[in-house]
Amino acid sequence: MLCRYVSVLGIILVVYLCLGALVFHYIEHPRETEVRDSQRRSIKDFMSNYSCLSRADLEVFMKKMLAAYDQHVRVTTNTTSNDNWDFFSCLLFSLTIVTTIGYGNMSPVTPGGQAFCVLYALVGIPLCGAFIINVGVKLQSPMRKLLVKVCFPKHPKIELYLKNGLFMLVGLLIWLFIPAVVFSAVEKWTYGESLYYCVITMTTVGFGDFVPGQKEKEYREVYRVLLVLWILMGYAWLAMFLSKMTDTLVQVNNTIEDEKRPGKSSTDEDGECYTTTEKGTIEVKVKNEVKGMKEAKDTIMITTTL
C-alpha cells in the first residue's frame, strides 16, 4: 500500500514539474528574447554613435561592470552604492542562510567568508529548524482556543475541514496578505509584487528578484529587524500549518481504511453476536467470556458446598 502511494505521488510530482516547465517556458521565454534583441540593438546604436570606441574595448568595459554587479556593487556615477556588508545587512543575510531562503542578492566572495558560511549553515539550519518547530507548537494553543469559540456543524468530517480552512485563512491573512500591504507601501511595489515576494519568501524559494530594505530610508535598521521577526514567525506558522495538514491527512486516510476494512457479523452457539475480521479474529466477545467464567466459578463453589 505504501509503495503504491509513493509511486502515485512520484508520478504526480513529475507531471507537475513538467507542467510548470512548459508554462514558464511559454510565458517567460518571449520576454527574454525581446530583452536580448533590444540590448543588441542598443549596443549597435551606441557603436554607431561612438565610432572611435572599438567593439573589443566595449566588451571589456561591459564585463568589468557586470563583474561588479554580480557582487551587488553599483558603480555608475549617478547612483550611490550602499554598503552590502554593514551589520544589519549581514543580519538579514545570516537569516537567509539558516532559513535556507538564499535570496542571492548577497554572497561571500572571499575564501574565508565562504568557509565560514559552510560551517555557519551546518550549525544554524538545524538550530533554526528546532526553534521554528517549537514556536509552532506553542502557537497551537491560542489557535485551538480561537477555533473552540467558533461554532461548527456537529459533523466530524465537516468540522475537521472547516477548522483547517479557518486556520489556513487566518494564517494567510496575518503572514501574507497584511504584510503584502506593508511592503507595497514601504517598498513602493505593486500589491501583486509584494504578495509574490511574501509567498516566495515564506516557501523558502527566495529568488532574490525582490529584496526589501535595500533602499535608503529612515529607520532602515529597525525595518530590517522587523523583517527578520516576520520571517521567523511566519515560518513557525508554516511549520504548524504543515504539521496540522499532515495530521489531517493521516486522520482522513485512517478513516478511509477503516471504512474499506470489511467485517463479518456472526452468532455463536449461545446466541451471542460478535464481529470478526477477514482473518477470523474475534474483536468483540470479551464481556461474554468474563460472564461465562464468573458463572462457572459460582457453579464450582455451589458444588463444593454441597
Question: What are the tens digits of pLDDT across the range 138-180?
Answer: 777 777 777 677 666 666 667 767 777 787 888 889 999 999 9
What was the pLDDT predicted at 281? Answer: 45
Of 216, 258, 254, nearest to 83 by C-alpha is 216
What was the pLDDT predicted at 121? Answer: 92
Please tell me the least confidently modeled range out of 151-165, 193-207, 289-303: 289-303
Cell matching residue 211: 529584496
Q: How far apart are CA 240 and CA 243, in angstroms?
A: 5
- Rounded mean pLDDT of 25-54? 85
What was the pLDDT predicted at 256? Answer: 73
Is 183's pLDDT higher than 90?
yes
What value does the mean pLDDT of the chain take?
76
Q: Return the amino acid letter for 234.
A: G
Contacts of 285 (CB under 8 A, 6+ apart): 268, 272, 274
Cell matching residue 134: 517549537
Query: Which of the pair, 150 or 306, is modelled with greater confidence?
Result: 150
Is 238:202 a contact under the CB 8 Å cutoff? Answer: yes
Q: How far apart are the first and last CA of the chain?
A: 61
Is 22's pLDDT higher than 50?
yes
Please tell me the least confidently modeled range out of 18-32, 36-50, 214-228: 214-228
What was the pLDDT predicted at 155? Answer: 67
Is 268's pLDDT higher than 50?
no
Is 195's pLDDT higher than 90?
yes
What was the pLDDT predicted at 282? Answer: 44
C-alpha gyration radius of the chain: 32
How would residue 284 be classed by pLDDT, with cut points 50, 70 and 90?
A: very low
pTM for this predicted structure: 0.65
How would residue 184 be classed by pLDDT, with cut points 50, 70 and 90?
A: very high
